[in-house]
Structure 1
Amino acid sequence: MVMIETAARAANLTKSYGSGAAAVTALDGVDVDLGRGEFTAIMGPSGSGKSTLMHCLAALDTPTSGEVFLGDQALSRLNDKKLTELRRDRIGFVFQSFNLVPTLTAQENILLPLAIAGRRPDPDWFDQVIETVGLRDRLSHRPSELSGGQQQRVACARALVSRPDVVFADEPTGNLDSASGEEVLRFLRYSVDELGQTIVMVTHDPAAAGGTDRIVFLADGRVVDEMREPSADRILDRMKQFDARHAARGEV
């Protein structure tokens, strides 16, 4: 059996909002390891905690208790300045809404994190990323001159250009038509297989999750299952089982 190095992990992670009778537990003792060089999907019904888990793993939110590790670095031991540096240098983000700066060209958007950090891009790596996303002839265009799929590929390139430890993608195909969504998913898959990237993607789409290496299923703030070598059909069957369990408990 091949041992997979851990890129990030959560240990007994709990996240609650509010207090007293109004308290809501979004994460309830979550333990999960994310393998380096793997494409992992996080799935679950609305309110299952999947976005909260990703935000805690990506240092965008602070857990109530438990610990998040990036490699062997415990995030709770970092002050605000160090956390900002970690998010900038070791984590990449791809959001559903692209989050591009409308006044900047595609190239300027891709290089923005490095510019903010006062760092120059590695020319060879930048060239490889641009070749991978297939936007070499669109680098001088602003977001309004690009299709939705092209804008999301710019966002993917921006996430990769600093060579982060992990890229977190929150519903990256949610605002795209099916053809553009497939483009972005092919790029993410290629970046894992050919560039050695680690990607963690929150999605509700079985077709999108079917192209990953592993799926972690959440329900009620807990990890309830996982699947390796997934397919859209297997995912749909598993999701139907979850729905049936909730219905049997009178929750739907």
Structure 2
Amino acid sequence: MLTSTSPTTTGTPTAARAVDATKVYGSGEGAVAALDHVSIDFEAGRFTAIMGPSGSGKSTLMHTVAGLDDLTSGQVFIGDIDLTTLKDRALTALRRDRIGFIFQAFNLVPTLTALENITLPASLAGRTPDTGWLQQVIDTVGLRPRLSHRPSELSGGQQQRVAVARALAGQPEIIFADEPTGNLDSRSSSEILTFMRQAVRDLGQTIVMVTHDPVAASYADRVVVLADGRIVDSIDDPTPDAILDRMKHLGR
């Protein structure tokens, strides 16, 4: 796993951060600030969940920090690298080599088998995956009987398992996950989230997850709550009840 991180003001290593991040859509009276001068550190070796109402800016925050979308103003960093200074080719290489992604839409390559999709990021980077870790990932997400199947031959839940395994297999510096268990039943969701929690605790993996589910968010070390493009709350060592209570107060 890559470990190029920069310190926070308290000396704690940070895997990613946003500094005065602003994202505006439209112009004039119709302009909408999806992010409104947001500054946040995502500590290395920690599991952070991002929550908030629809339109709060949670997905925009994740996408801009991950280098998938541009800011209107401000900066975002992976380790000590300012993504806003990178040209397209360098940004593509950074996303490939240092970041893992899990999306709601799976984003699998339809012509590749499940195993080929899982190992695709490593293949593109010219790396050989750690065999022991790869096998553990495959067994944990329950994919071994389906490794030779293509996405069209898998259920939605199975495709999401492939996407989760793909993100974890290369042990990237940081993983960004958008509703990673959204298409899984409760038992499968628990297994995936437990494994993600284990990857953080035992292997120092850093995970940033957008979710609307208080139970999923409770697997994180910290929950950050957004509303109207701003961070309005932060919950350490969250429980589902604590998250629900904070969200109810936000609604008032």
TM-score w.r.t. structure 2 length? 0.89
Whether contact under 8 Å (1:149, 1:183) holds in the other structure is no
Query: Which structure 1 residue ranges, 5 or more long, are not aligned?
Result: 245-252
The AA in structure 2 aligned to 1:112 is L
Offset of residue 134 of structure 1:
4.2
Counterpart among 39, 43, 46 of residue 51 in structure 2: 43
Q: What is the 5 A alignment of 1:126-141?
A: 126-141=134-149
Query: Which structure 2 residue ranges, 5 or more long, are not aligned?
Result: 1-9
Which residue number in structure 2 is paired with residue 215 of structure 1?
Answer: 223
Which residue number in structure 1 is paired with residue 69 of structure 2?
Answer: 61
Query: Runs in 1 of length 4+ with deviation above 6 angstroms?
Result: none
Q: What is the 5 A alignment of 1:3-18?
A: 4-18=12-26
Whether contact under 8 Å (1:215, 1:226) holds in the other structure is yes
| Partner deviation per Cα, 1:103-127 (whole Å, 9 max, x = no partner) | 3211111111222334333434434
The answer to whether residue 213 in structure 2 is matched with residue 205 in structure 1 is yes
Which residue number in structure 1 is paired with residue 243 of structure 2?
Answer: 235
Which residue number in structure 2 is paired with residue 158 of structure 1?
Answer: 166
Offset of residue 59 of structure 1:
0.1
Percent pairwise identity: 66
Q: Provide the secondary structure at the position in 2 that maps to 1:167.
A: strand
Which residue number in structure 2 is paired with residue 106 of structure 1?
Answer: 114
Compared CA separation, residues 75 and 42, structure 1 to 2 (3 A): same
Whether contact under 8 Å (1:8, 1:71) holds in the other structure is yes
Provide the C-alpha distance between the structure 1 equivalents of 2:97 and 2:172, rounded to a whole number of angstroms. 6
Compared CA separation, residues 94 and 66, structure 1 to 2 (3 A): same
The AA in structure 2 aligned to 1:199 is I
Offset of residue 137 of structure 1:
3.8
Q: Provide the secondary structure at the position in 1 that maps to 2:96.
A: helix
Which residue number in structure 1 is paired with residue 3 of structure 2?
Answer: none
| Partner deviation per Cα, 1:186-239 (whole Å, 9 max, x = no partner) | 221122122221100000111111111100010110011100010000100000
Q: What is the 5 A alignment of 1:109-120?
A: 109-120=117-128
Whether contact under 8 Å (1:148, 1:180) holds in the other structure is no
Report the more deviating stretch, 143-152 or 209-218.
143-152
Which residue number in structure 2 is paired with residue 247 of structure 1?
Answer: none
The AA in structure 1 aligned to 2:242 is R
**Alignment: residue pair count:** 243
Compared CA separation, residues 131 and 195, structure 1 to 2 (3 A): farther
The answer to whether residue 178 in structure 2 is matched with residue 170 in structure 1 is yes
The AA in structure 2 aligned to 1:209 is A
Whether contact under 8 Å (1:39, 1:200) holds in the other structure is yes
Provide the C-alpha distance between the structure 2 equivalents of 1:47 and 1:167, rounded to a whole number of angstroms. 22
Q: Provide the secondary structure at the position in 2 that maps to 1:194.
A: helix
Provide the C-alpha distance between the structure 2 equivalents of 1:75 and 1:124, rounded to a whole number of angstroms. 32
Provide the C-alpha distance between the structure 1 equivalents of 2:71 and 2:219, rounded to a whole number of angstroms. 30
Whether contact under 8 Å (2:99, 2:173) holds in the other structure is yes
